[in-house]
């Protein structure tokens, strides 16, 4: 082996010798996974009330995924509906991002963007507070920095010129005890919005 010596900082040494924190982290991720499992049932029931959305959603079941490296941090997400075919996307993504927040995002492109733009345009006449609209060029980014999202109430753009539509809302992890209600209520808001105009 060469002369390079890999040294741990005092904080790193404290963590590497303490198994408890990683076990706690794993337990939290499993709880988020369980929460998303419960939400997937609620989402199916909610979506099932709208035949137009059921048809657009296609036959794919809800999907829960997890990983360790979204900008270096663990994440869990639930996609339902998740109809992504080439340039046509219709998805509602519930997202947990360690150290940041939970969020819910409606993502539309292609034929689904055309189909639902009238309903979204009507909803945007008096949008509820705290919603954001995507202003970035990558539909797969989830952070809420200024280069990816703008508060909807401050947005001055034209929805008809967007390459894709992303509408999102987030909740702080400090509000964990309200996270399940947040997801259920915002999911209902999205499905009601999409069906408000025929």
Tokens of 163: 């390459």
Give the pLDDT confidence score for residue 197 in this predicted structure.
Answer: 67
CA distance 197 to 26: 43
Peptide bond into 81 cis (omega under 30): yes
Give the pLDDT confidence score for residue 198 in this predicted structure.
Answer: 56
Give the pLDDT confidence score for residue 99 in this predicted structure.
Answer: 96
Give the pLDDT confidence score for residue 56 in this predicted structure.
Answer: 86
List the chain domain ranges.
Answer: 10-194
**Regions of the chain short of the pLDDT cut 50:** none
Measured from the Cβ of residue 39, the count of other Cβ atoms closer than 10 Å reads: 22
Write the secondary structure of 80-142 as one string of H (helix), E (strand) and C (coil).
EEEEEECCEEEEEEEEEECCCEEEEEEEEEHHHHHHHHHHHHHHCCCCCCCCEEECCCCCCCC
Q: Is the dihedral of CA 171, 173, 178, 179 positive or negative?
A: positive
Give the pLDDT confidence score for residue 196 in this predicted structure.
Answer: 79
Quick check: helix, strand or coil at residue 4? Answer: coil
């Amino acid at each position: 082996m060469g002369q390079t010596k890999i040294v741990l900082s005092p904080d790193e040494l404290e963590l590497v010798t303490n198994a408890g924190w990683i076990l706690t982290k794993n337990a939290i991720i499993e709880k988020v996974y369980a929460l998303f499992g419960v939400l997937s049932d609620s989402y199916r029931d909610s979506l099932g009330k709208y035949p137009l959305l059921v048809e657009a959603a296609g036959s794919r079941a809800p999907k829960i995924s997890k990983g360790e490296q979204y900008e270096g941090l663990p994440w869990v997400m639930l996609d339902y509906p998740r109809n992504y075919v080439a340039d046509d996307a219709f998805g509602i993504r519930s997202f947990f991002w360690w150290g940041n927040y939970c969020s819910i995002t409606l993502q539309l492109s292609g034929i689904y963007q055309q189909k639902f733009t009238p309903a979204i345009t009507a909803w945007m006449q008096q949008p509820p507070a705290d919603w954001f609209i995507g202003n970035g060029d990558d539909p797969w980014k989830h952070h809420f920095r200024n280069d990816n999202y703008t508060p909807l109430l401050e947005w001055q753009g034209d929805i008809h010129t967007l390459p894709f539509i992303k509408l999102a809302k987030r909740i702080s992890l400090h509000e964990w005890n309200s996270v399940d209600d947040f997801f259920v209520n915002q999911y209902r808001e999205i499905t009601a919005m999409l069906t408000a105009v025929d």
